[in-house]
C-alpha cells in the first residue's frame, strides 16, 4: 500500500494521470499477449498455440502509434531499438528483418503522410490499402511485420480523428476488416503447421480485437487508482513502461536460451536475412 501511495504522488507530480486509463488497459493486454508469444518462440517453439495467441498483440502497438498525438521519436526509443538489434546478432539470429521497434519508429514518422494522402478521396483511400498490402512481402524482409503494421497505424489515426474523417463509417469498417484479413493471411503463412482450430481461433481473436480497436476511446477511470484499487498499480506499470518491459524481457529470454540451449542460439553466428528464401523469390 505504501508503494501504491508513493507512486500516486509521483504521477501527480509529473502531471500523469494517477488513475487507471483505457491506454493502460489496452497496452497491458498487448504486453501480456506479447510475452505469451515470446515464451512460445524462445522456450516452447513446438507450441503453436502460444504463437497464435501472442500474434494478437502486434496490431495494438501499431494502432496506438497512429492514435497517439505525438509524432516525436524519443532518443531512448532509438537506443533500445539498437540494443534489441544487437541482442539478435549476439544470440546468433539475424540482422534483417530489423526488430519491431524500428517498424514502429517508421510508422510514427510516416503516419501523418499516410493519413493525409489516404483521405484525399475514395480512390486514394483504396489505393493506400493496396499499396501497403502489396508492399508487405518485400518489406517483411527488412522490417518486422512490414507495411502491414502501417495499416493498423492508419487505423489508429482514423479513429483518433474520427470526427474529421469524411469517409462513411462503412468504408472505415471495411478498411479495418480488410487490414485484419491481410494480417491474418500473412501471419498464417508465417506460422508453421497451423491447424484449422488455431486458424479459426486467430480469426475470431482478430475479429474481437478489430472491434475493440474500432471502439477505442481515451477514458480515465477516475475512481480506479492505486489507492482505491492496489492491483491498478501493476496495470499502470505495464501500460506506462511497455518499452522498457519489452526490451528487458527480450534480453532476459535470449540470455536464458543461450545459457541452457547453446545449440539453438550460437553466440555471434548470425544470418544477414531471416527470410532469405522470400528474398530470393522476390529477386
Q: Say yes or no to pLDDT of 9 above 90.
A: no
Domain boundaries, the chain: 2-282
Distance CA 218, CA 220 (A): 7
**Rounded alpha-carbon distances, angstroms, from residue 44 to 36, 38, 84, 145, 158:** 10, 9, 21, 22, 37
pTM, entire model: 0.89
Q: Say yes or no to pLDDT of 14 above 70.
A: no
Q: Which three cell numbers stand for residue 1?
A: 500500500
What's the pLDDT at 170?
A: 81
Q: Say yes or no to pLDDT of 43 above 90.
A: yes
Which positions ≥6 away from 74 have C-beta within 8 Å? none
SS3 labels along the chain: CHHHHHHHHHHHHCCCCCEEEHHHHHHHHHHHHHHHHHHHHHHCCCCHHHHHHHHHHHHHHHHHHHHCCCCCCCHHHHHHHHHHHHHHHHCCCEEECECHHHHHHHHHHHHHHHHHHHCCCHHHHHHHHHHHHHCHHHHHCCECCCCHHHHHHHHHHHHHCCCCCCCCHHHHHHHHHHHHHHHHHHHHHHCCCCCHHHHHHHHHHHHHHHHHHHCCCCCEEEEEECCCCCCHHHHHHHHHCHHHHHHHHHHHHHHHHHHHCCCCCCCCCCEEECCHHHHHHHC
Q: Give mean pLDDT, residues 72-84.
A: 95
Q: Check: CB of residue 103 under 8 Å from CB of residue 144.
A: yes
Name the phi and psi angles at 95, rounded to 5.
-90, -50
Q: Which of 201, 209, 210, 145 is nearest to 174 (CA)?
A: 210
User: Where does the pLDDT of residue 16 fall: very low under 50, low under 70, confident under 90, or very high at 90 and above?
Assistant: low
Distance CA 280, CA 283 (A): 5
Q: Say yes or no to pLDDT of 74 above 80.
A: yes
Q: Say yes or no to pLDDT of 278 above 80.
A: no
Q: Say yes or no to pLDDT of 180 above 70.
A: yes
User: Where does the pLDDT of residue 13 fall: very low under 50, low under 70, confident under 90, or very high at 90 and above?
Assistant: very low
User: Where does the pLDDT of residue 17 fall: very low under 50, low under 70, confident under 90, or very high at 90 and above?
Assistant: low
Distance CA 276, CA 283 (A): 10
User: Where does the pLDDT of residue 172 fall: very low under 50, low under 70, confident under 90, or very high at 90 and above?
Assistant: confident
pLDDT per position as a tens digit, 57-71: 999 999 999 999 888
Q: Which of 246, 173, 168 is nearest to 213 (CA)?
A: 173
What's the pLDDT at 227?
A: 76
pLDDT per position as a tens digit, 109-162: 999 999 888 888 888 888 999 999 999 989 999 999 999 999 999 999 988 887
What's the pLDDT at 122?
A: 81
What's the pLDDT at 86?
A: 94
Please tell me the number of Cα atoms within 13 Å of 162 on its side-chain side: 16
Amino acid at each position: 500500500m505504501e508503494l501504491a501511495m508513493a507512486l500516486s504522488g509521483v504521477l501527480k507530480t509529473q502531471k500523469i494521470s494517477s488513475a487507471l486509463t483505457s491506454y493502460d488497459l489496452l497496452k497491458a493486454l498487448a504486453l501480456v499477449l506479447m510475452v505469451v508469444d515470446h515464451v512460445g518462440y524462445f522456450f516452447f517453439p513446438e507450441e503453436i498455440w502460444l504463437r497464435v495467441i501472442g500474434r494478437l498483440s502486434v496490431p495494438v502497438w501499431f494502432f496506438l502509434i497512429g492514435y497517439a498525438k505525438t509524432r516525436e521519436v524519443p532518443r531512448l526509443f532509438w537506443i533500445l531499438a539498437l540494443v534489441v538489434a544487437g541482442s539478435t546478432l549476439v544470440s546468433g539470429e539475424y540482422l534483417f528483418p530489423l526488430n519491431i521497434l524500428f517498424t514502429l519508429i517508421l510508422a510514427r514518422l510516416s503516419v501523418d503522410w499516410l493519413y493525409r494522402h489516404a483521405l484525399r478521396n475514395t480512390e486514394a483511400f483504396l489505393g493506400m490499402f493496396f499499396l501497403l498490402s502489396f508492399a508487405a512481402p518485400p518489406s517483411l524482409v527488412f522490417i518486422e511485420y512490414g507495411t502491414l503494421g502501417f495499416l493498423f497505424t492508419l487505423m489508429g489515426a482514423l479513429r483518433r480523428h474520427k470526427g474529421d474523417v469524411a469517409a462513411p463509417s462503412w468504408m472505415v469498417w471495411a478498411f479495418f476488416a480488410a487490414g485484419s484479413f491481410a494480417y491474418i493471411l500473412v501471419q498464417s503463412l508465417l506460422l508453421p503447421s497451423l491447424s484449422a482450430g488455431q486458424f479459426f481461433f486467430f480469426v475470431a481473436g482478430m475479429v474481437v480485437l478489430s472491434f475493440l480497436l474500432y471502439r477505442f476511446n481515451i477514458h480515465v477511470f477516475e475512481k480506479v487508482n492505486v489507492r482505491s484499487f492496489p492491483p491498478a498499480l501493476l496495470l499502470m506499470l505495464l501500460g506506462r513502461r511497455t518499452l522498457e518491459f519489452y526490451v528487458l524481457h527480450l534480453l532476459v529470454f535470449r540470455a536464458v536460451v543461450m545459457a541452457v540451449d547453446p545449440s539453438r542460439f550460437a553466440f555471434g553466428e548470425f544470418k544477414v536475412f531471416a527470410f532469405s528464401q522470400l528474398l530470393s523469390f522476390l529477386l
